[in-house]
Structure 1
């Protein structure tokens, strides 16, 4: 066996407390290297005259990616303490792997050789809000969802959908428009709304905040927002707001004060200013988001800035009863601030959801002291590559998904925010070159995957659009122009996900077959199991899988050894 490929660490995604009694332990090996892996384990203080008391337990192969196999075991140490190592077997070869290295036989003269989980402290268990794993999100770009009150339209607002979206045009979308169409969301099966920023700002996207404590008047006033939250809650829908704490807008009053007073400004330490006088061209001489001069980076290490932003975080939860925060450019803000942010928000509403926008490996933000989840872009990219672009095959997709599922602890995966499109990307149907069958497959993948899924407004009725600003069209409310078949497909999947918890977060996910563009996987618990078979290819394909005895057809085409182009079939164990 290749020793260099064998890996474990006593923490993060390899050893963690799943709940107050249970430890999850993972081991990585070279792909196809080991025939079996067992956990050697014992309480570090459990000694008798015969020596240290240990046991062995078989680990299961939980997944395989391009290079590695992953083994898993859940264990409940009776005294919540554990020392442990691994026994790997391949043919006649046996390896013992411990924190101190490799041995041919397990050393038992001392526990110090072994990996250590000192004590399972209940307070250290990663806990996302319990409601999140059953939530289906719907992202609303407020300026483009619905205009319910023309009296608050911004100056120069165009008639609804009268022209293509531009970076600087307005159509008057507002809170009343959302209230007026809450039935649409309820009918679809949505149980959470994620709003892009609603605070006062100059742009139509509102990521350039002027005042974090005021609602942009084009959306309505605070009373209307309170009404909106109340209506959502009455309809079983949670509300999450988007916060930009990495940077402010150019017209944020503290930054305007800096521009006026330069080094004499009382706010000069609120930002990362490299020199005076401040210059915006050719590149700003102050830190910004990217090199965008209108988005100066906030100095979250400054106590005054921290207190202001923490006041904002508490205010919208206390006064308006929102249920969560989505945090823009979260990876560029210091960890210390996010720890204080979590404490502040959870002190007001312990079950509030804190979601970070991070596009890369995010384990350092997901230790239980900062975020409840991050946006699962690795899922997004792999799903689009597999189905929409057909740039990878089913085997590569399955390997990528295995990597995603093993990047984080299981209780983190259950709260991961899965999406196919957003205000930052092309519309899903546009990625699919307007092939609706491909889009149906993408939603099947997302709505049978671990985590909490999000639908971008209008995707459910087949809206199209290129990259920003094309993806920010006005919502289509003319039913004759809506794709009601696509709406019905997504509605049915959401209903299945709600009825069969195994399709959401209560079941294990196992890839059974991945050949060409055909994929077979199973979501299962001890009590329930659903087999998902799909063909992401453009031709009818034979798929070598047998429907197990006792399984009945649940959704999609009937499977008789093959599936049509972009076909799918779900079978449930009875």
Structure 2
């Protein structure tokens, strides 16, 4: 109980001490600063019953009713957790039962189950009013299995032959063409390419969205991405393009960056994170890459869940772990290392689910206040401390699930300690690692570490993370103690008067 009360006692002191991790001037917001909430339109929230035809919430492969208006109704819910951008599954008109958005029938229409184009524009407008950005996935590699183009004799060369690939990247193992029997588009065909570029420009111009997420970048010719990027950024200069590529191939990523792709989803790290944080006492060595190269990590999207994989909660439960605690540990990492945090809908309530489509369950807006509050606090710290989004990084300690690392930006320095073990851990940082005569002020749980000579000893309970701000040593705040003493004295006098009055009334 004492440990729970301690942060509450310390927090007023910390504010009156004037925690100052460093004087960093206010800078223009970039995508490095964004916190992204990723969701499936059909599985989030039903806000309009009029478009809820053929809905069956008991069928995981049918439309479940989520729509644009439903997302709009929950914008404040998403914003209050600290998220600054929303990434949507494809919103285009789809074939029957294409709830996920990948069976595209028409690139120039919205899916009727989700709402009209006007509904979508209103969603974007309302998000922008809240200073939130909207991304939508734009699939360019395939269309629905029964697309009208397949029956058009004039468009036979719009598709690849089964078993072929349109990629020029020979260094990456190619995925099977026509995956899930979806017709693969021939992006080397000028007409096909022209159609997709025109459609992409039209969406940017018509709706005012802020970016596209893109799948399977390696399956398209490199010059296609150059044309695609140029086309959308002529419509909107700061338009954002985030894509997927297997195994984070460095050569392919560098080439794609040169051709206009701004960021990449870090699938390799996602698998490492799920292994490391779904249980305790697992080495964190794999999730701390060479931090001296952290600049190259700034354009990576860090995530634990997405629509393609079983939920992180599922892995934690399989190891007989408490999902809420596992999520706190994983999110503490996600929010404090280089890269953009991307959180899949339902993570804030530790939503469970196995393989597709079990991981596409309808969102349950139930109270999971402890985890939601934790996510909110992490978001506040990331917003307040530029070092967490832009800073240089240095790993100071890592052993068996306990890690301490440093983020520095300008003269702002923070230290992050993550104890992902089953025991209390004590780590002493020796001379030269941290400047002498300072103290580390915990901003998550209220811990306080003062130097003893030229050393700092961090003691962290099991399955706890802390973000420490480096600050000058502070003494007792006498004015604060006087004020608080007066408040407590007045309260005691009040209680005594009430007690005496009660005695008189009984007499």
1:231 aligns with 2:139: no
Between the aligned partners of 2:360 and 2:257, the Cα distance in structure 1 is 34
Give the strand-richer structure, 1 or 2: 1
User: Which residue in 2 is equivalent to 1:134?
Assistant: 33
SS of 1:513's equivalent in the other structure is strand
Higher RCO (CA 8 Å, separation ≥ 6 residues): 2
Deviations 1:512-570 (A, max 9, x none): 01112110101112411111111111222232336764232222362664322211222
Change in CA separation of 1:563 and 1:307 when aligned onto 2, cut-off 3 Å: same
Q: Aligned runs of 1:104-183 on 2, under 5 Å?
A: 131-155=30-54, 157-159=55-57, 163=58, 166=60, 168-183=61-76
1:196 aligns with 2:94: no
Between the aligned partners of 1:150 and 1:475, the Cα distance in structure 2 is 17
Q: Give the Å deviation of 1:470.
A: 1.5
SS of 2:257's equivalent in the other structure is coil
**Residues 328, 356 of structure 1: 8 Å contact kept:** yes
Change in CA separation of 1:241 and 1:423 when aligned onto 2, cut-off 3 Å: same
User: Which residue in 2 is equivalent to 1:563?
Assistant: 460
Between the aligned partners of 2:443 and 2:330, the Cα distance in structure 1 is 18
Between the aligned partners of 1:177 and 1:328, the Cα distance in structure 2 is 25
Between the aligned partners of 1:296 and 1:461, the Cα distance in structure 2 is 37
Give the helix-richer structure, 1 or 2: 2
Q: Aligned runs of 1:396-435 on 2, under 5 Å?
A: 396-398=286-288, 401-402=289-290, 406=293, 410=295, 412-433=296-317, 434-435=322-323
Change in CA separation of 1:288 and 1:393 when aligned onto 2, cut-off 3 Å: closer
Between the aligned partners of 1:348 and 1:148, the Cα distance in structure 2 is 31
Flag structure 1 segments of 5+ consecutive residues without an equivalent: 1-128, 258-264, 276-286
User: Which residue in 2 is equivalent to 1:315?
Assistant: 202
1:305 aligns with 2:192: yes
TM-score, normalising length: structure 2: 0.77
1:345 aligns with 2:345: no
Change in CA separation of 1:328 and 1:396 when aligned onto 2, cut-off 3 Å: closer
Deviations 1:333-387 (A, max 9, x none): 1101110001101111110001111122142444332301110122222222222
Deviations 1:194-237 (A, max 9, x none): 00111111211111111111100000001111111100100111
User: Which residue in 1 is equivalent to 2:157?
Assistant: 269
SS of 2:179's equivalent in the other structure is coil
**Residues 510, 523 of structure 1: 8 Å contact kept:** yes
Count of residue pairs the alignment pairs up: 412
Between the aligned partners of 1:211 and 1:288, the Cα distance in structure 2 is 25
Change in CA separation of 1:426 and 1:448 when aligned onto 2, cut-off 3 Å: same
Between the aligned partners of 2:41 and 2:162, the Cα distance in structure 1 is 36
**Residues 288, 297 of structure 1: 8 Å contact kept:** no
User: Which residue in 2 is equivalent to 1:437?
Assistant: 325
TM-score, normalising length: structure 1: 0.68
Between the aligned partners of 1:402 and 1:154, the Cα distance in structure 2 is 52
Between the aligned partners of 2:306 and 2:120, the Cα distance in structure 1 is 23
Between the aligned partners of 2:178 and 2:281, the Cα distance in structure 1 is 32
Q: 1:519 aligns with which of 403, 411, 419?
A: 403
Between the aligned partners of 1:369 and 1:504, the Cα distance in structure 2 is 24
1:553 aligns with 2:448: no
Change in CA separation of 1:170 and 1:562 when aligned onto 2, cut-off 3 Å: same
